[in-house]
């Protein structure tokens, strides 16, 4: 057995080189080995124009940066579909022991293909003046995993197999009900006067590389073999799905459309940032441990790098992004400019000290280097010039914290996001 394995090594090497698997430098976790780099200036346009007024930012530089991120990184998504439909699946005015109104709604993106649909779960606080502010965020394993509430529909979409949870045929099992509840403190969010809106990201696009055929990719003519180098990857598809949730929320009178925050963790934190950059209906944007391709600066090459993320997840970004593998200095932007696209709206970036793969310092530096744009727009900035101590949030227009612990969403994180939202949503002068 062992001998046959060793005998196969030359063959494995040959196959991997034929597949183009490139030998990557070791993962760097040593701050002294971060390469010297120069960041593109968000306030200097490609033609050299200095951006000195809000008008220049909004009419010249912002559209330019949005286009660069679209073409070179996340890929181009379609607009709002013409044939969407919202179907009410279930509703209760006395959910969670009378604390909440619960609603489950199916969003069909194109009535000609009703099988491609997203199920949205809403909890709104019962005893809060309407219309209420809400947090919107995608979840990783199905709506039924965010809370043990037995009325939540179990997803029928493709889910990743997991033997420990009894998932062997890519179908969610009843025993997965509530398994992600620690990341979704529903009662606490409601008690602070906010609603929570979530959907399973796999309803929008299953998270594996199938050549851009399944999920919402398949609804458009550029699916599969027609997929071009600047067409949307999965992160852009998930972000597009978040905008479709807002399309629905705009029809719900109990929800205040001017107070919609978008939140996401990890790959879904990257997604929340990209959704917030594209869709100004998100009035607060929250990135929880989003790392490479999210809040972290690519040029630092600390932890996960562009080449590594493109190799592990070839479907997340558009094909053009692969040009920057081991070639970050050629990027016409870095992730501080993604934060800047959200300006002047409040944005909150959170890191975790043990989450070195996501490069906490790189996440902080993106906030710091986005600040000149916020200042130009008269929106204040970060109110920090160095990383704060652990568990010490900074609640400026750009909010930031680094907490103890690992890659996760905790009650501490939520407590800060709610306080941050209170500051901008409950302030009379907002
Ligand atoms: C990791 C990936 C990260 C992050 C994370 C997650 O495997 O390298 O970029 O997105 O997954 O989403 O949990």
Q: What percent of the chain has pLDDT over 90?
A: 92
Its domain, for residue 334, covers 5-429
Tell me the C-alpha distance between 430 and 414, whole Å. 22
What number of other Cβ atoms are within 10 A of residue 327's Cβ? 11
Ligand 1 atom closest to the CA of 291, numbered from 1: 9
**Predicted confidence band at 223 (pLDDT cuts at 50, 70, 90)?**
very high
292 in contact with ligand 1, CB cutoff 6 A: yes
Give percent above pLDDT 70 in the chain.
94
Interval between CA 352 and ligand 1 midpoint (Å): 14
DSSP per-residue string spanning 256-308 = EEEEEEEEEETHHHHHHHHHHHH-TT--EEEEES--TTTTS-GGG--SS-HHH
DSSP letter at 87? E
Q: What is the pLDDT of residue 6?
A: 44
Per 3-state DSSP, the chain is made up of helix, strand and coil in percentages (nearest 5) of: 35, 20, 45
Tell me what pLDDT residue 28 has.
Answer: 98
pLDDT of 388 reads: 98
CA of 268 to the centre of ligand 1 (A): 9
Let me know: does 103 contact 90? Beta carbons within 8 Å. yes
269 lines ligand 1 (CB under 6 A): no
* Strands, sheet with 394-395, edge to edge from the N-terminal-most edge strand: 85-95, 100-108, 117-125, 195-200, 132-139, 255-265, 284-288, 347-352, 398-403, 394-395
CA-to-CA dists, residue 321 to 76, 144, 227, angstroms: 12, 34, 14
Domains contained in the chain, number: 1
Which atom of ligand 1 sits closest to the CA of residue 308? 8
pLDDT for residue 9 is more than 70: no
- Residue 315: CB within 6 Å of ligand 1? no
Q: Of the residues 157, 266, 287, 366, which is catalytic?
A: 266
Mean pLDDT of 235-251: 98
Mean pLDDT within 227-254? 98
Chain centroid to CA 48: 31
Ligand 1 proximity of 304 Cβ (cutoff 6 Å): yes
**Cβ atoms within 10 Å of 406's Cβ, excluding its own:** 12
Report the run of H or E that residue 7 belongs to, with start and end.
Answer: helix 2-18
- Give yes or no: 407 in active site: yes
Structure confidence at residue 381 (pLDDT): 87
Which residue in 92, 126, 191, 407 is the catalytic one? 407
Strands 85-95 and 100-108: antiparallel
Please state, rounded to an integer, the average pLDDT across all residues of the chain.
94
CA 52–ligand 1 middle distance (angstroms): 37
Query: In this structure, is the dihedral angle defined by the CA atoms of residues 27, 404, 180 and 249, taken in order, positive or negative?
Result: negative
pLDDT on residue 207: 98
Is the CB of 137 inside a 6 Å radius of any atom of ligand 1?
Answer: no
Confirm if 325 and 306 have CB atoms less than 8 A apart: yes
* pLDDT value at residue 426: 85
Residue with the larger pLDDT of the pair 1 and 384: 384
Whether residue 267 has its Cβ less than 6 Å from ligand 1: yes
| Residue pLDDT, tens place only, 125-182 | 998 999 999 999 999 999 999 999 999 999 999 999 999 999 999 999 999 999 999 9
Active site residue 147: no
For 227-245, what is the mean pLDDT? 98
pLDDT of residue 427: 63
Measured CA to CA, the distance from residue 102 to residue 116 in angstroms comes to 23
Q: Residue 201: what pLDDT?
A: 98
Please tell me the pTM assigned to this model. Answer: 0.95
State the CATH number of the domain containing residue 99. 3.40.50.1820
* Each residue's pLDDT tens digit, 16-52: 444 456 699 999 999 999 999 999 999 999 999 999 9
Average pLDDT over residues 313-338: 98
């Amino acid at each position: 057995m062992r001998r046959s394995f060793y005998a196969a090594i030359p063959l494995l090497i040959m196959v991997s080189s034929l597949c183009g698997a490139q030998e990557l430098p070791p993962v760097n976790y040593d701050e002294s080995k971060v390469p010297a780099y120069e960041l593109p200036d968000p306030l200097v346009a490609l033609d050299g124009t200095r951006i000195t007024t809000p008008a220049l930012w909004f009419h010249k530089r912002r559209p330019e940066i949005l286009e660069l991120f679209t073409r070179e990184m996340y890929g181009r998504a379609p607009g709002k579909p013409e044939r969407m439909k919202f179907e009410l699946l279930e509703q209760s005015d006395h959910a969670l022991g009378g604390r909440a109104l619960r609603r489950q709604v199916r969003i069909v993106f194109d009535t000609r293909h009703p099988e491609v649909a997203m199920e949205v779960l809403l909890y709104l606080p019962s005893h809060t003046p309407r219309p209420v502010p809400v947090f919107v965020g995608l979840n990783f394993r199905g709506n039924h995993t965010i809370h043990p509430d037995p009325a939540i529909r179990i997803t029928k979409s493709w889910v990743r197999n997991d033997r420990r949870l009894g998932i062997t045929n890519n179908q969610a099992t009843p025993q997965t009900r509530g398994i992600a509840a620690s990341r979704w403190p529903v009662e606490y969010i409601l008690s602070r006067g906010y609603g929570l809106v979530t959907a399973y990201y796999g309803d929008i696009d299953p998270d594996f590389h199938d050549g851009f055929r399944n999920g919402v990719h398949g609804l458009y003519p550029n699916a599969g073999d027609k997929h071009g180098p600047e067409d949307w990857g999965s992160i852009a598809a998930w972000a597009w799905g978040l905008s479709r949730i807002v399309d629905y929320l705009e029809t719900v009178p109990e929800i205040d459309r001017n107070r919609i925050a978008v939140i996401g963790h990890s790959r879904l934190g990257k997604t929340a940032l990209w959704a917030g950059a594209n869709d100004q209906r998100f009035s607060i944007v929250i990135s929880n441990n989003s790392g490479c391709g999210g809040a972290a600066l690519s040029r630092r090459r600390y932890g996960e790098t562009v080449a590594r993320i493109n190799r592990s997840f070839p479907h997340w970004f558009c094909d053009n992004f692969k040009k920057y593998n081991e070639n970050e200095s050629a990027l016409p932007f870095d992730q501080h400019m993604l934060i800047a696209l959200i300006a002047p709206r409040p944005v909150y970036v959170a890191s975790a000290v043990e989450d070195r793969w996501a490069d906490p310092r790189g996440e902080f530096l993106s906030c710091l280097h986005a600040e000149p744009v916020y200042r130009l727009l008269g929106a204040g900035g970060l109110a920090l010039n160095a990383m704060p101590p652990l568990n010490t949030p900074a609640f400026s227009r750009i909010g930031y914290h680094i907490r103890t612990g690992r890659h996760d969403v905790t009650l501490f994180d939520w407590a800060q996001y709610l306080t941050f939202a209170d500051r901008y949503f409950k302030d009379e002068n907002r």
